[in-house]
Amino acid sequence: MVFVRKKQISGREYYYLVKSVRSGKNIERYVGLNPPSKKEIGLFEEEQNSTRIFLAIKEDMFIEIKKNYKKKLKGASKDELAKIEEFITTQFTYNTSRIEGSTLTLKDTNLLLNQGITPGNKPYRDIKEIENHKNAYMFSKMYKKDIDKNLIFSLHRILKKDISEDAGAFRTAGVKVGEMMGLNYKLIPTEIGNLIAWYRKNRDILHPIELVSQFHCTFERIHPFFDGNGRVGRLLMNHTLARKGYPPVIIHNKNKRRYYNALIKGQRGNHLFMIKYLVSELENLSKILF
């Protein structure tokens, strides 16, 4: 059974789609300021059924990945751990930055992060953002708490340090995201607050892959910063997965078209494409690590 729940926050009405499940823990999705149409309600129910089936089919694989990842880290020497960390950090930083237009190659990124060799023919901004992203990723790994506003602001502040004056601050004007206008900037604090509240309510109900898929798509729809939204969103994704015992998901630049398509569908209410895409990237990394 699917129904619509309405909540009043700070004088505004916000809508949620809710699906009742046998366990008694309802699956809830934050919709926003506008009530969902009958078509959206129907698609939500259909997607939930498909998602439950897909995740159930993959459950043994998830268990195996988590077990192998834990075993890999536990059994590794200090040198082996350092190599694993270096590989993941370099791949993650290169790909997440390249997606956003960085001119640094994988070789440039590796030399910069691991040997301290700065490419001489690349823009300062690109070089600085690569260095900053590594620092942001290290910060997220050390951050003991779950997702909160402090983590979101901190990641953006580190990422944009010495690059943007608005580092660590929500945007204060409108932006255009692709062909769509971004959310009214005045609504950002409330929308992020609602997203975090939804996350906390659902973090122990939804499968971790479904949880991060929904959170990521909504975070990117809100687009809280002038720049750096994608990179912060992907850092938050991996922060959650790490807390759940998973290796990181690396969105590869070569797959960005599939990623963006999944993001668009997720922002329109269908998260199954993002779930399937993240699972495919998780499987690919697991084959390399194990």
Tokens of 31: 């919709």
| Pick from 147, 233, 236, 144: nearest CA to 196 | 147
pLDDT at 22: 59
The DSSP H or E segment spanning 18 is strand 12-19
Tokens of 228: 């750096």
pLDDT at 18: 84
- Residue 140 — φ and ψ, nearest 5°? -65, -35
pLDDT at 6: 85
pLDDT at 23: 56
The DSSP H or E segment spanning 155 is helix 149-159
**Beta partners for residue 176, in sequence order:** 181
Tokens of 248: 């990181």
The highest-level CATH class for domain 40-289 is mainly alpha
What residues contact residue 102 under an 8 Å CB cut-off, 6+ apart? Answer: 94, 126, 129, 130
pLDDT at 24: 59
- DSSP tag of 145: S
Tell me the C-alpha distance between 238 and 19, whole Å: 27
14: helix, coil or strand?
A: strand
Give the 3-state secondary structure percentages of the chain, helix then strand then coil, rounded to 5. 60, 10, 30
Length of the chain: 290
- Residue whose structure tokens are 């807390």: 243
Centroid of chain to Cα 6: 26
pLDDT at 218: 95
Intervals of the chain under pLDDT 70: 22-24, 179
Q: How far is the CA of 68 from the CAs of 79, 89, 100, 171, in angstroms?
A: 19, 19, 32, 41
Tell me the C-alpha distance between 259 and 267, whole Å: 12
- Residue whose structure tokens are 């370099």: 90
- DSSP tag of 37: P
| Pick from 85, 77, 71, 51: nearest CA to 208 | 51
Domain ranges of the chain: 40-289
| Pick from 269, 228, 278: nearest CA to 35 | 269
pLDDT at 44: 81
- DSSP tag of 1: -
Q: Between vectors from CA 31 to CA 39 and to CA 263, what angle results, nearest 5°?
A: 85
